């Protein structure tokens, strides 16, 4: 049974920073890619960032490039999303998701999801 647990969400002011964590209870964590998606109220779930199984390849949605950084610690089965210079439009529930080896931007390619972490950026 694969379980993903997000943490680190909260309320932050415009321009502030947060770090989300995604802890995975899965064997051979190093064989899986992890992606972050987000969903704002009334909007579809959208891709944010992803990292492949080894951490050698990352991908970012255009609006977060240069502000968000995805990284992983395979020894501790955790992926991080460091978010800086946050904007009101970053407000959403953030989900991490897992799939084998290579990351994609398509949510339908991911079978295992966390419960989500709320990020709220306020003035």
Long-range contacts of 10-13 (CB under 8 A, 24+ apart): 10/118, 10/119, 10/120, 11/120, 11/121, 11/122, 12/86, 12/119, 12/120, 12/121, 12/122, 13/121, 13/122, 13/123
pLDDT digits (tens, 9 = 90+) for 25-61: 998 898 999 999 999 999 999 999 999 999 999 999 9
**pLDDT 10s digits, 77-100:** 999 999 999 999 999 999 999 998
Confidence of residue 123 (pLDDT cuts 50, 70, 90): confident
Share of the chain above pLDDT 90, in %: 89
């Amino acid at each position: 049974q694969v379980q993903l647990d997000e943490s680190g969400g909260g309320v932050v002011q415009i321009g502030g920073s947060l770090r989300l964590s995604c802890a995975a209870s899965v064997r051979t964590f190093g064989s899986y890619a992890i992606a972050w998606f987000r969903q704002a109220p009334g909007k579809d779930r959208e891709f944010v960032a992803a990292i492949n199984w080894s951490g050698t390849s990352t991908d970012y949605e255009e609006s977060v490039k240069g502000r968000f950084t995805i990284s992983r610690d395979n020894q501790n089965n955790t992926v991080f999303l460091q978010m800086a210079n946050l904007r009101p439009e970053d407000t959403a529930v953030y989900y991490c998701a897992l799939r084998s080896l290579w990351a994609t931007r398509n949510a339908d390619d991911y079978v295992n999801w966390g419960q989500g972490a709320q990020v709220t950026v306020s003035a």
